[in-house]
Amino acid sequence: MGEENVTRLHLHLVSDSTGETLESLVKAGLAQFADVDAVKHYWPMVRSEGHLDRVLDEVSRTPGLVLYTLVARNVRARLETRCAALGLPVIAVMDPVIEGLERMLGTRAESRPGGQHRMDEAYFGRIEAIHWTMEHDDGLLPHEWEDADLVLAGVSRSSKTPTSVYLANRGYKVANIPLVPNRPIPPELFELKKPLIVGLTVAPERLMQVRRARILGHDTAGISAKYADPDAVADELNSARRMFADRGWPVIDVTRRSIEETAAELMNLLGMRREVG
């Protein structure tokens, strides 16, 4: 089937826990549709209106279907209201199941975020990994990167953040750093011993497409005029690839990979490294 027949869809998965339930439901649902290029955006641990507002600011940049598992009434109401204002479809995926159980059992469900998970060691490990990864997104806290399992490096819009969040849901602590022209790279990146450092790259045409989509219809304040310029994009990618090669870091081309495929390759690299080590 040609690419012109493929439907591209952004799915935003908003959860007050790790988001595993949403991920499983979405995976099962998408399996029923052919020729769909689904881009999944993961937004775990959303438990306050302030956090939700930050998430929805990002959602508005890549509009699509919003699916959620949220317990707090005020957060749910705000999500529904803001999605309606943005013209975005929104679905509370667990509500029909919970309502059916309430009718059959004759009792109300308890309002406990993430209540479907056993509070075991693995669960708490995932929660810790999610918090750690979110605190070390976009080049933050480089002095703590030695505690990471993975450090992802790549130019802007090379899927670093969604890949990091996906891996955090699997219990990995992941830091990521954007390689931005004329912005110094933290020296800590070149001194790391424990984490596996991986470079993410993407085809120039695909990167320009993604960056242009970000610019269109949005405030471009703070965005360089060369952000989506073909020559500038090619220079950025070439510079990043040279750095990856010079350092001997493994590289993954994310152009035709889903977030899940990229994450799977990263987990494979970690596994091979541990076998060798």
3-state secondary structure 122-160: HHHHHHHHHHHHHHCHHHCCHHHHHHCCEEEEECCCCCH
Q: Is 154 annotated as a binding residue?
A: yes
| 40: containing domain | 3-105
**Is 115 within a domain?**
no
Shared domain for 30 and 135, answered yes or no, is: no
State the average pLDDT over residues 6-31: 86
Q: Is 226 annotated as a binding residue?
A: no
| Token pair belonging to 124 | 């708490």
Is a pLDDT exceeding 70 seen at residue 93? Answer: yes
Q: Using pLDDT thresholds of 50, 70 and 90, give the confidence band for residue 11.
A: very high
pLDDT of residue 34: 84
**Is pTM beyond 0.75 here?**
no
Q: Is 160 annotated as a binding residue?
A: yes
Shared domain for 78 and 148, answered yes or no, is: no
State the average pLDDT over residues 199-226: 78
Across 9-18, 43-52, 268-277, least confident range: 268-277
The number of distinct structural domains making up the chain is 2
Q: Is 40 annotated as a binding residue?
A: no
Shared domain for 265 and 219, answered yes or no, is: yes
Last residue of a domain, one of 105, 133, 161: 105
pLDDT of residue 224: 67
Q: Are strands 65-69 and 196-201 parallel, antiparallel or unpaired?
A: unpaired
Q: What percent of the chain has pLDDT over 90?
A: 51
State the average pLDDT over residues 95-106: 84
Across 28-32, 69-73, 107-111, 188-192, least confident range: 107-111
Shared domain for 92 and 130, answered yes or no, is: no
Shared domain for 137 and 225, answered yes or no, is: yes
**Is 125 within a domain?**
yes
Following DSSP, what letter does each residue of the chain receive, concatenated? Answer: --GGGPEEEEEEEEESS-SHHHHHHHHHHHTT-SSEEEEEEEE----SHHHHHHHHHHHTTS--EEEEE---HHHHHHHHHHHHHHT--EEETTHHHHHHHHHHHTSPPP--TTTTS---HHHHHHHHHHHHHHHTGGG--GGGGGG-SEEEEESTTSSHHHHHHHHHTTT--EEEEE--TT-PPPGGGGG-SSSEEEEEE--HHHHHHHHHHHHTTS--TT--TTTT-HHHHHHHHHHHHHHHHHHT--EEE-TT--HHHHHHHHHHHHHHHHHH-
Instruction: Find the angle CA(200)-CA(204)-CA(207) to the nearest 5 degrees.
Output: 70
Is a pLDDT exceeding 80 seen at residue 2? Answer: no
Shared domain for 179 and 97, answered yes or no, is: no
Each residue's pLDDT tens digit, 224-271:
668 888 899 999 999 999 999 999 999 999 998 888 889 989 998 998
**Is 113 within a domain?**
no
Last residue of a domain, one of 55, 77, 105: 105
Shared domain for 134 and 268, answered yes or no, is: yes
Is a pLDDT exceeding 50 seen at residue 8? Answer: yes
pLDDT of residue 1: 42
**Is 114 within a domain?**
no
Q: Is 257 annotated as a binding residue?
A: no
Shared domain for 242 and 143, answered yes or no, is: yes
pLDDT of residue 258: 85
Each residue's pLDDT tens digit, 22-70:
888 888 888 888 888 888 888 888 889 999 999 999 899 889 999 999 9
Q: What CATH number does the domain containing 265 carry?
A: 3.40.50.300
State the average pLDDT over residues 149-164: 94
Shared domain for 53 and 129, answered yes or no, is: no
Shared domain for 212 and 179, answered yes or no, is: yes
**Is 110 within a domain?**
no
Q: Is 93 annotated as a binding residue?
A: no
| Token pair belonging to 56 | 């929805």
**Is 34 within a domain?**
yes
Is a pLDDT exceeding 60 seen at residue 120? Answer: no
Last residue of a domain, one of 77, 105, 133: 105
Q: What CATH number does the domain containing 78 carry?
A: 3.40.50.2300
CA distance 157 to 204: 11
* Sign of the four-CA dihedral 238, 240, 241, 242: positive
**Is 258 within a domain?**
yes
Q: Is 156 annotated as a binding residue?
A: yes
**Is 83 within a domain?**
yes
Shared domain for 127 and 96, answered yes or no, is: no
Q: Is 69 annotated as a binding residue?
A: no
Q: Using pLDDT thresholds of 50, 70 and 90, give the confidence band for residue 140.
A: very high
Shared domain for 93 and 139, answered yes or no, is: no
Longest dimension (CA), the chain: 65
